[in-house]
Structure 1
Amino acid sequence: MELNGTNTLVAYFSHKGQNYSNGSIVNLQKGNTEVAAETIAGITGADLFEIVPENTYPNEYKECTDAAMTELRSGSRPRLASDVDISAYDVIILGYPCWWGTMPMPVFSFLESHDFSGKLVLPFCTHEGSGMGVSEADLKKTIPGAAVKNGLPLHGSSVAKASAAVRKWLNNV
């Protein structure tokens, strides 16, 4: 798919700090999903928007995953620190880490605060073994008016070398 010249937005949520990577906890200065989002924006010429909750997640891995699980179980929709007007965009490339098998709750907050009717949505996620989880099904339920294409799961610890996989995915969607 040729996206250069289209009204395309890469909207993403990412977590820097402690992350699980190949069986170990590592400290990331930049989250894996942010790295992937920047790669995709560079390839497509799309605008970038980072989905940031008002209350940030803990830096420590276990505390972060516990907070994410609590939000998932309660169906929380965290308030976001900022927003973007998506009305001028035809294509939204949506990125997130796969947390507990789906999108982090701030991504649900972002989705539910906009009208995606008639938009093409291309999801991608970073993970350490779960792939897309059930996030594609959750995405389709959350924004039923959008055309949601098959997502791209990227192994988080390999995301810096993922430009070939990204190009292949973009060409196939």
Structure 2
Amino acid sequence: MTTDMTAVVYFSRAGENYGVGTVRTGNTAKLAEAIAQAAGAPIVEITRDEAYPAGYDETTAEAQQEQRTNARPRITLKGDIDALDKATTIYLGYPMWWGDAPMPVYTFLEGRDWNGKTIYPFCTHEGSGLGGTPGNIAKAAHGAKVENGLAVRGTTAQQDADATRHAVDSWLAQ
């Protein structure tokens, strides 16, 4: 009998964020922590080797340039990498940046074997929801099955832990 192993993997950015000011823990990191706690799953953070600037405007310029050029910045994974390698179910989180996931998420997706794995995308946003990211993830994660995702406003994830937990619990119960 096989056991379905799960892991929560996310990309997030602290510093100055849209709608919430300057934060120590990014919006998506807060949502990822709530999912990991509710699912009893280990957590892995995707970090960009060259950190984005702390300022919102500077990050915006750099990240938009990455999107325009379809860049794949170098990344490092932090956390329980062994659990990630064994997991067949991945909860994958990211902020929505101009209708898509940040480019470090695609570096992560394109650098792994996804055969036999299921991805549940989740994001923080300020109005766009998941947009077309589930389809983009399916294209980048060859062999993965991509399921229904969860979209939570970044302001909610950052400022309302009860509403965030409720959204996570409802999503996981589906």
Q: What is the TM-score normalised by the length of structure 1?
A: 0.91
1:61 alignment counterpart? 56
Once residues 133 and 72 of structure 1 are traced to their aligned partners in structure 2, the CA distance between those partners, rounded to angstroms, is 15
CA RMSD of aligned residues (A): 1.4
1:135 alignment counterpart? 133
Relative to structure 1, is the Cα distance of residues 10 and 79 closer, same or farther in structure 2, using a 3 angstrom cutoff? same
Structure 1 residue 137: Cα displacement: 1.2
**Secondary structure, in 3 states, of the residue corresponding to 2:113?**
coil
**Per-residue CA shift, 1:41-96, capped at 9, x if unaligned?**
10111010000010000110011011110000101001113363543111000000
**Per-residue CA shift, 1:19-51, capped at 9, x if unaligned?**
111xxx611110010000000010111010000
Once residues 32 and 16 of structure 1 are traced to their aligned partners in structure 2, the CA distance between those partners, rounded to angstroms, is 8
Gaps of 5+ in 2: none
Once residues 81 and 119 of structure 1 are traced to their aligned partners in structure 2, the CA distance between those partners, rounded to angstroms, is 21
Once residues 42 and 113 of structure 1 are traced to their aligned partners in structure 2, the CA distance between those partners, rounded to angstroms, is 27
Relative to structure 1, is the Cα distance of residues 136 and 46 closer, same or farther in structure 2, using a 3 angstrom cutoff? same
Once residues 119 and 53 of structure 1 are traced to their aligned partners in structure 2, the CA distance between those partners, rounded to angstroms, is 24
2:70 alignment counterpart? 75
Query: Partner letter of residue 92 of structure 2?
Result: L
Structure 1 residue 130: Cα displacement: 1.1
Query: Partner letter of residue 162 of structure 1?
Result: T
Q: What is the TM-score normalised by the length of structure 2?
A: 0.90
Once residues 71 and 13 of structure 1 are traced to their aligned partners in structure 2, the CA distance between those partners, rounded to angstroms, is 15
1:46 alignment counterpart? 41
2:149 alignment counterpart? 151
Q: How does 1:47-126 map to 2 (within 5 A)?
A: 47-82=42-77, 84=81, 86-126=84-124
**Secondary structure, in 3 states, of the residue corresponding to 2:107?**
helix
Structure 1 residue 103: Cα displacement: 0.7
Structure 1 residue 98: Cα displacement: 0.5
Once residues 146 and 81 of structure 1 are traced to their aligned partners in structure 2, the CA distance between those partners, rounded to angstroms, is 21
Percent of pairs identical after alignment? 44
After TM superposition, where is structure 1 displaced by more than 2 Å over at least 4 residues in a row? 81-87
1:10 alignment counterpart? 8
Alignment size in residue pairs: 165
Query: Partner letter of residue 68 of structure 2?
Result: R
2:164 alignment counterpart? 162
